[in-house]
A and B are shown apart, each in its own frame.
Chain A
Amino acid sequence: MHMRWLARNWPYIAMTLAIAAAVHVASVVYLPDLIMMRTMAKLAGAGGVNTMQHGARATQASRAVVRPSPDLLYSTCVYDLDKAGGRLRVHADGMPRTYWSVSAFDARTDNFYVLDDRHAQGGAFDVTLAGPQAAAHAGDIRSPTARGIVLVRTLIENEARLAAVDAARRGAQCEPAK
């Protein structure tokens, strides 16, 4: 009975497995894009794109990005290089004397750029992202996709310095490059 059922229905069984394999691969491949789209929408919020937003310290109420660190202050710039005219400047002056890093993630979640305080001069950084098709200037960092997220992490090394560290990291900015 089972064998006859199998013999009669094998094309459908094969088709089911083929569809399952295709759906599985497609969902795995596109999941990062979907998650980034959702995250960029959440982080941009009312502030919009191509502007730095300085998030409050992570607590149990923080739900924008998974596994946030409560020991870091996160500043985010959701960027859209098409809307920025092709290039986006990310800069800060007077970052606090603690661990900090500025990193860039493309729309596929890949981390394509990172700079930390040990490699920056005097608490300052000034980098420009160029879109995949944009005319880049010397020194520009090429973003693999037009959209993505720049994330500035600043460490709260000492609770007593929280207010000063928070004030200093607010100097980090992003805007369309001139």
Chain B
Amino acid sequence: MRVVMKLLVTAVCGIALGLFATWVLVVRAAPMGGDVRDGPWRTSLATGSAQGGAWLRASVALHGLLALNRSETIYYTATTDRLGGKLDAHCLYRVVGRDPPARWWSITAYGPDDFLIPNPQHLYSVSKTSVDRHPDGSGFLVTLGHDDIHSQEIATGKGAFSLTLRLYNPDAAVAADPAHVKLPSIVRVRCT
């Protein structure tokens, strides 16, 4: 009887430990668990392709299901600002930069559940065609979170959030070397 109890405890502990490892390594891991870094932006060369290993495939299935391969689209995800601080809706950020080298791009904010962040104005994203540019047309500035000063905003919700930068039909140089692309900078302005 004692042995049966021990075996039962062994099985329960083993299953719990195995599922916990999956939760830590795949479910809680950064969205689109990328192996390539470009500042705070992370991407994976194997997204959308059959070459991804089991862990990457599981991570993409959870956080970026139905993603395209990198010759079509490159997805960069940021969970931190340029200094490494976690993106937090209690803080105000500015995203500044110039157009990344792609036919079309967009920046979209997502909540911790990987869905669009509820807000009455539907401020989910900005794109190459919708972004407010500097008067000389050179660069752009987007505010993450609510700002008193009027500027183009993306709503960030109430807690942690992340950003996805999509480059559709990226230039060949980007697909070949996605770690060295001039991407927008994410600057924390202040926190409340």
Chain A residues within CB distance 8 Å of chain B: 9, 12, 15-29, 31-32, 35-36, 39, 58-60, 62-63, 65-71, 99, 101, 103, 105, 108-112, 114, 116, 118, 149, 151, 155, 157-159
Contact = CB atoms under 8 A, between A and B. Distances in A.
A111 B115 contact: no
28 contacts: A12-B9, A16-B10, A16-B17, A20-B14, A20-B15, A20-B17, A25-B54, A29-B58, A32-B61, A59-B116, A60-B122, A65-B65, A66-B114, A67-B63, A67-B110, A67-B115, A68-B115, A68-B116, A70-B108, A70-B122, A71-B130, A103-B72, A109-B65, A110-B57, A111-B48, A111-B49, A155-B104, A157-B104
Interface string B119-136: 100101101011000000
B116 A58 contact: yes
B122 A59 contact: yes
A28 B26 contact: yes
Given A103-B72, A116-B72, A60 B117 contact: yes
Nearest to A31: B58
B19 A70 contact: no
B15 A23 contact: yes
A103 B49 CA distance: 12
A22 B18 contact: yes
A31 to B, nearest CB: 4
Contacts of B7: 12, 15
Interface in B7-37: 7, 9-11, 13-15, 17-19, 21-22, 25-26, 31
B17 A35 contact: no
Contacts of A39: 65-66
A99 B168 contact: yes
Contacts of A71: 106, 108, 125, 127, 130
Contacts of B13: 16, 19-20
A65 B63 CA distance: 9
Given A68-B116, A70-B108, A23 B61 contact: no
A12 B11 CA distance: 9
B125 A28 contact: no
B22 A31 contact: yes
Interface string B97-114: 000000110101010001
Given A20-B17, A67-B114, 8 more contacts: A28-B55, A28-B58, A68-B116, A70-B124, A101-B68, A109-B57, A111-B48, A157-B129
A99 B103 contact: yes
Interface centre among B31, B110, B127, by most chain A C-beta atoms within 10 angstroms, is B127
B16 to A, nearest CB: 8
Contacts of B21: 20, 24
A20 B15 CA distance: 5
Nearest to B129: A157
B116 A60 contact: yes
A83 B16 CA distance: 38
B28 to A, nearest CB: 13
A48 B4 CA distance: 48
Given A27-B19, A31-B26, A158-B129, A19 B69 contact: no
Given A21-B18, A24-B22, A110 B49 contact: yes
Nearest to B50: A110
Going nearest first, the 6 A-B pairs with the smallest beta carbon separation are: A19-B14, A23-B18, A20-B17, A66-B114, A32-B61, A60-B118
